[in-house]
Amino acid sequence: MVASNLDSIKVIMTGVTIFLGAVFPALSIGKIGAKAVESIGRNPEAAPKIQTAMILSVAFTEAIAVYALVVALIIKFV
């Protein structure tokens, strides 16, 4: 009985971790992209600098999503 409850909790927590690890980075990447496009629209001469900063920010945000995936796998298999 206890093992069954623990397995259920692990499955639920894995799902919650994957959900949160996908939704929040996705929203953040959308906001980063929108602000970058807005900034380039206001100052087209600064486009290369803005694009570089945007790509770096998106990469760091994606890293957070990968960390969430790793945590979800740890929860599931440990």
Q: Give the per-residue SS3 of the chain.
A: CHHHHHHHHHHHHHHHHHHHHHHHHHHHHHHHHHHHHHHHHHCHHHHHHHHHHHHHHHHHHHHHHHHHHHHHHHHHHC
The answer on pLDDT for 3 being more than 80 is no
Residue 54: give its domain's CATH number.
1.20.20.10
- For residue range 22-72, what is the model confidence (pLDDT) as tens digits? 999 999 999 999 999 999 999 999 999 999 999 999 999 999 999 999 999
Could you give the angle at which helices 47-77 and 2-42 cross, rounded to 10 degrees?
180
Residue 30: domain span: 2-77
pLDDT average, residue stretch 3-9: 86
Residue 4 binned pLDDT confidence (cut-offs 50, 70, 90): confident
Q: What is the pLDDT of residue 1?
A: 65
Residue 78 binned pLDDT confidence (cut-offs 50, 70, 90): confident
Give the total number of structural domains in the chain.
1
